[in-house]
Amino acid sequence: MTAAEVERRRAAGLGNTAPPPTTRTYAQILRENVFTFVNNILFALGVALVLVGRPVDALVSLGVISTNVVVGIVQEIRAKRTLDRIALLTRPTATVIRDGTEAQLAPDALVLGDLIAVEAGDQVVLDGRLVAGALSVDESQLTGESDVVRKRPGDEVFSGSFATSGAGRYVAEQVSTASLATRITAGARSFRRVITPLQGEINLVIRVVLGIVLYLEVLLVVRGLVQSSVLGDVVADATLLAGLVPNGLFVSIAVAYALGAVRIIRFGALVQQSNAIESLSHVDVLCLDKTGTLTANRLEVEAVAGLAGSTEEDVAAALASLAACATARNRTTEAIAARWPAAPRALAAEVPFSSARKWSAVSFAAPPPGSPGIVALGAPTFLRPFLAPDADGEPGAWAELAARTGTWTDRGLRVLLVATHDDPAALPPQQDEATATLPAGMRAVGLVALRDELRGEAEATLRAFREAGVAVKIISGDDPETVVALARQAGLVDAASIAGPELDRLDDDAFAKAAAETTVFGRITPAQKERLVDSLRARGHYVAMIGDGVNDVLSLKKANLAIAMGSGSQATRGVADLVLMQDSFAAVAQAVEEGQRIINGMQDILKLFLTRIATVGLVVVSSLVVVTFPIELRNASALTLFTVGIPSALLAVWAQPGRRVRDTLGRTLARFVVPAAVVSSLMGLFVFYGSLVLAGPPTDESLGAAKTALTAFLVYAGLLLIAFVEPPTRWFAVVEPVTTDLRPARLALVLGFGFMVMLFVPVARAWFSFSIPAPRDAVLVVVAVVAWLLLVRTFWERRLVDRFLGIA
């Protein structure tokens, strides 16, 4: 197609104008932040408050929610814009033939009728029909079936699939919304909704609190009916209860994920799954491919050797002919072609390289006299069944081959066997992917050794993972001894190894044991990689997989966390949660730090949220026993804003990396939340009823003053909790170690001063339904706060709850 024809078709509306989104749309961000289940309930209760004549209460209750929503939306939109700009670097491209030349174009530059070239590792970006070549295609992202499908001229190919072997050209027949191209990114990752432990804890907290709130709502309605309460008061109290559900946790974790994703972009990592950074901090097993991952995949021919009387020149000639004629190019054939350039010859048949077979072969239409009719290249153990036996019944030249191979693999070289056959007709044409075979009687003529470069930062990064308690496993299609030699270079000195054929002979229990105890896996097929990851996960491990090639896709899909190299295949990048755009392991280390930052920040936020919920919940439960409701809706809005609304947003930003001794959710509740909530609720009720007693006969004014005193106490107690979760001095370090970051402590001081000022500003005081505190109430609050501070510190320092419950 010419450039002029392309422009005419685009003008006629036949261009591909629907590139796939890389992140959530603006509508999705708005919907998922605004219209949550809890927010919908609060919105409905706000409308009810307006209908019963209490619009100010409605505005105040929804004001705090709106603040959290706006913060979350702004942060996520900022992150989305940054990620979308960076993601343009990793989106799929297509090799298009226009005006007789090839060009790399983005999918949205294509038009109907474009001729597109595709080879192993490429994604099919538009629906079309194959017109030349032959491909093996993985359509699992569309059909869910993992078996590859053989495509020949005339067959349809679909966007969202990717070539596993072979090469060909197809004509685009569907574009824009008529094509499946818009599902390339979403379809590749739709099945990878992995819930991290932190997300699981937050989901559990919200569900439990929601259940408790619904129960209390029923009791509240029953009490209102029994006491014939005013409808507006019942609705206001119901809104207060609904506000206990910590939907702000969703906002906090969304902001933390977004900030983490933006931070690690500068280190060359692109987040494609929002929880990927946090997920990396839970990893206890790291699996990585060798070629292109541990090594740079810059192959060079190191040496050749003849076998069974063949000379090095014979081996070089056979290799040169195969590399020049193979239609399915890869790094190996490119390295051979660079060493021994040769003119292409007409082929009679071709079997492209496959990670499952581990060999490729070509046969020539008219081989010159004295030249082989078939040349095969692959792993020696996988070509062995096709070799002609010698007088002892062993494959020809096998002893010589084994000796030479051992010498080279000890140096970390990749060793491949060259085998030939005289009769080109012995290689059947148009073989299926699953049943492709070579003729018997192949002759081993020589070996070729290729050197690959170990990535410079690999050793330091793998050492950091091992020091952090993460088991490292190298999984490769190469000879185990080659991989072991490279593993030693990467610092894995005592690396036990096993080969794929040996794994196949193991039963399930023995396989699981080998997967857990072995470090290096060689001659592994893609299916075995997938089974290894499955086995590790079945044993309770949290598995990350780093890969770059099509043969890594199956195992990447199975891992808890999938990481792809930026230079890897489009298919690999499509299923990855995290893409290392500059192929640097250093970005993985930075991602670990960001994951620790997210977890540490959310631990602090979770403690603040749970303590507020438990404290207010206990106060509310006491109100169901007595007649007076001790806190108003507007009071609770101020309490939420000062103790969790503003602090949680800033603690997520200020969180520091570094591993902490992390309690389970149950232990966090027992050790931190229960003492703080019980003491806070008891001291709060003491302040409330003490204020009423000191005021004399109960009046509306004295009741309002008591509610103000209670709220003031709860606010200052809540702000002091910040000093315990991020201790500025050793005196506060009874739960967490002393921090060098004084910003949280300063924040608590500023908010405490701000709350005090608010009580004396008429507009703010009226907005939150407070009264000016009497001197006696101020003294009562100060005494209660000091007593609370000493009591909770004693509980935590002496671990009284731990002792009572008998937990270590």
Distance of CA 262 to the CA centre of its chain: 14
pLDDT above 90: percentage of residues in the chain = 32
Does 421 lie in the same domain as 369?
A: yes
Q: What is the pLDDT of residue 480?
A: 87
Same domain? For 654 and 776 the reply is: yes
Closest by CA position to 652, among listed 732, 561, 792, 747: 747
Indicate the number of domains in the chain.
Answer: 2
CA distance 501 to 480: 11
Decide if 476 is inside a domain. no
Residue 71 near residue 255 (C-beta atoms within 8 A): yes
Q: What is the DSSP letter of 645?
A: I
pLDDT of res. 83: 57
State the Cα–Cα distance between residues 182 and 158, nearest whole angstrom. Answer: 12
Higher pLDDT, residue 409 or 657: 409
What's the rounded Cα separation, in Å, for the pair 185 and 181? 8
Q: Looking at the domain assignment, is residue 627 inside a domain? A: yes
Among the residues of 88-176, which ranges form H helices? 140-143
Q: Are residues 251 and 329 in the same domain?
A: no
Q: How many other CB atoms sit within 10 Å of the CB of residue 782? A: 13
Sheet of 443-451, strands arranged across: 300-306, 443-451, 414-421, 374-378, 359-364, 347-351
Give the number of other CB atoms < 10 A from CB of residue 534. Answer: 16
- Give the pLDDT band of residue 417 (cuts 50, 70, 90): very high
Picking from 424, 416, 312, 285, the residue whose alpha carbon sits closest to that of residue 367 is 424
pLDDT at 50 over 80: no
DSSP state letter for 15 = B
Listed range (224-228, 344-348, 457-461) with the worst mean pLDDT: 224-228
In a domain, 695, yes or no: yes
Q: Are 255 and 304 within one domain?
A: no
Residues 602 and 748 in one domain: yes
* Residue 725 located in a structural domain: yes
Structural domain ending residue among the three candidates 430, 451, 472: 451
- Picking from 434, 451, 468, the residue at the C-terminal end of a domain is 451
Cα distance between residue 240 and residue 61, in whole Å = 8
6-23: burial string, b at 16+ Cβ within 10 Å, e else: beebbeeebbbeebbebb
Tokens of 786: 């000091």
| 238, 321: one domain | no
Which candidate, 638, 771, 652, places its Cα nearest to that of 715? 638
Convert the pLDDT of each residue in 262-272 to its tens digit.
Answer: 888 888 888 87
Give yes or no for a contact between 79 and 95, defined as CB atoms under 8 angstroms apart: no
**Residues 240 and 306 grouped into a single domain:** no
Strand ranges in 379-470 using DSSP code E only, listed in sequence order: 414-421, 443-451
Instruction: Decide if 623 is inside a domain.
Output: yes
- For residues 543 and 562, give the distance between their C-alpha atoms in angstroms, rounded to a whole number: 9
* Position 579 in a domain: no
Full 3-state SS string of 519-560: CEEECCCHHHHHHHHHHHHHCCCCEEEEECCHHHHHHHHHCC
Residue 785 structural domain: 194-262+592-805
Instruction: Tell me the pLDDT tens digit for each residue of 193-213.
Output: 567 788 788 878 878 888 888
What are the φ and ψ backbone dihedral angles of 520, each rounded to 5 degrees?
A: -115, 130
CA 92 to chain centre: 20
Angle of helix 646-654 relative to helix 248-265, nearest 10 degrees, comes to 30
Residue 287 — φ and ψ, nearest 5°? Answer: -105, 135
- The DSSP line for 26-75 is HHHHHHHHHS-HHHHHHHHHHHHHHHTT-HHHHHHHHHHHHHHHHHHHHH
**For residues 41 and 242, is the Cβ–Cβ distance under 8 A?**
yes
In a domain, 85, yes or no: no
Question: Which token pair is 433?
Answer: 């992917």
Check pLDDT > 70 for residue 707: yes
Cβ-contact 472, 294 below 8 angstroms = no
Q: Which of 118-127, 515-524, 633-642 has the highest mean pLDDT?
A: 515-524
- How wide is the angle at C-alpha 600 spanned by C-alphas 595 and 604, nearest 5°? 145
Supply φ then ψ for residue 613, to 5 degrees. -60, -50
What pLDDT, on the 0 to 100 scale, is given for residue 318? 95
Q: Each residue of 227-258: b (16+ CB within 10 Å) or e? A: eeeeeebbbbbbbbbbbbbbbbbbbbbbbbbb
Q: Give Cβ neighbours of residue 102 (< 8 Å, ≥ 6 apart).
A: 95, 96, 117
Quick: pLDDT tens for 123-152. Answer: 888 889 999 988 888 775 555 445 567 788
Q: In whole angstroms, what is the distance from residue 785 CA to residue 550 CA?
A: 62
The pLDDT tens digits of the residues spanning 65-93 come to 676 677 667 766 776 676 566 556 556 78
Model confidence at 256: pLDDT above 60:
yes
Instruction: Please tell me whether residues 632 and 701 are part of one structural domain.
Output: yes
- Taking phi over 0 as left and psi of -120 to 50 as alpha, with beta for the rest, 202 belongs to alpha
Residue 222 C-beta-side C-alpha neighbours within 13 Å: 8
Q: Does residue 695 carry a pLDDT above 90?
A: no
C-beta of residue 642 within 8 angstroms of C-beta of residue 755: yes
Check residue 258 and give its pLDDT. Answer: 78
What is d(CA 664, CA 80) in angstroms, rounded to the nearest whole number? Answer: 32
Please tell me whether residues 603 and 712 are part of one structural domain.
yes
**In sequence order, which ranges of 374-457 are alpha helices (DSSP H)?**
380-383, 398-409
* 73 within domain boundaries: no
CA separation for the pair 5, 21 (Å, rounded): 28
N-to-C CA span, the chain? 74
**What's the confidence (pLDDT) of residue 49?**
67
Cα–chain-centroid distance for residue 29? 19
- Per residue in 731-774, pLDDT (tens digit) is 999 988 899 899 999 999 999 999 999 999 999 998 888 999 89
Query: Comparing 396 with 443, which gets the higher pLDDT?
Result: 443
Contact 512, 532 (CB under 8 A): no
Same domain, 642 and 775: yes
Average pLDDT, the chain: 83
Residue where a domain stops, chosen among 451, 472, 494: 451
pLDDT tens figures, 398-408: 888 888 888 89
Same domain, 228 and 305: no
Percent of the chain with pLDDT over 70: 87
Q: How far apart are CA 617 and CA 676, in angstroms?
A: 13
| Alpha carbons 148 and 146: distance in angstroms, whole number | 6
- Residues in CB range of 368: below 8 A, 6 or more apart: none
If you average pLDDT over each of 186-195, 197-206, 687-696, which comes out highest?
A: 687-696
Residues 6+ apart with CB under 8 A from 212: 617
d(CA 70, CA 54): 24
Residues 653 and 799 reside in one and the same domain: yes
Helix (H, G, I), strand (E, B) or coil at 419: strand
pLDDT 10s digits, 552-567: 888 888 999 999 888 7
Answer whether 71's CB lies under 8 Å from 64's CB. no
Asked if residue 423 has pLDDT above 50, the reply is yes
